[in-house]
Amino acid sequence: MDIRFLAIEGNIGAGKTSLAKMISEEFEARLVLEQFADNPFLPKFYNDPEKYSFPLEMSFLAERYNQLKKGISDLELFSQFTVADYYFIKSLIFAKSTLSDDEYNLYRQFFEIIYGKLPRPDLYVYLHVRPERLLKNIEMRGRDYEKTITKEYLDKIHQGYLNFIKQQADFPILVLDTNDLDFVHNQSDYERIKEVIFQNDYKKGVNTVRL
């Protein structure tokens, strides 16, 4: 499959950043990673979601747009393979799960204004992982601000991704069930994922593979 822009997505703790880094290193690809560690609203949001959800989502919206616009919107940059550990639609998915209806309606107006200005991925990969395993992964990486994440919150995020995936027909989407894999520590698992991504042609819409 001819891929110039690969977006790897997934729930919190699914391993999307690790996989993006591995693919980028092997193929000497341009790597676009979401910048979230320095967001001042993130720890505040996990402690008080109702108060800080809107400023958090707006700050992520601006940061993701600026990063993607700078990193991958120039078509000349596609002469080099680019892999990102998120896609802009993530903004809408998380906002739907955290904002009130009125806040979300306002947020979506801002989203729609700028979404059309960004390029679409040649392939969008979604790593499906059960919430129970996600919680273990989150615990293992030990970020203090993630300690309050619940299974219910992860379920809401996952459902948001599924709703988006079911409705999307603009570009190919590959849903990978990676519950039984450890591609970070097991080279053969990584090779299996890589083969599925790069050795097949996927039609626009949803394509599902369980590994």
Sheet holding 172-177, edge to edge: 30-32, 82-84, 5-10, 123-128, 172-177, 205-210
- Which residues, in sequence order, are CB contacts of 168 under 8 Å at separation 6+? 124, 205, 206
Phi, psi of 19 (to 5 degrees): -65, -40
Is residue 85 exposed (0-12), middle (13-18) or buried (19+ Cβ within 10 Å)? buried
Cβ atoms of 99 and 57 within 8 Å: the answer is yes
- 102 included as an active-site residue: no
Which of 38, 74, 85, 201 does the annotation list as catalytic? 85
Cβ atoms of 110 and 54 within 8 Å: the answer is no
The residues annotated with a catalytic role in the active site are 85
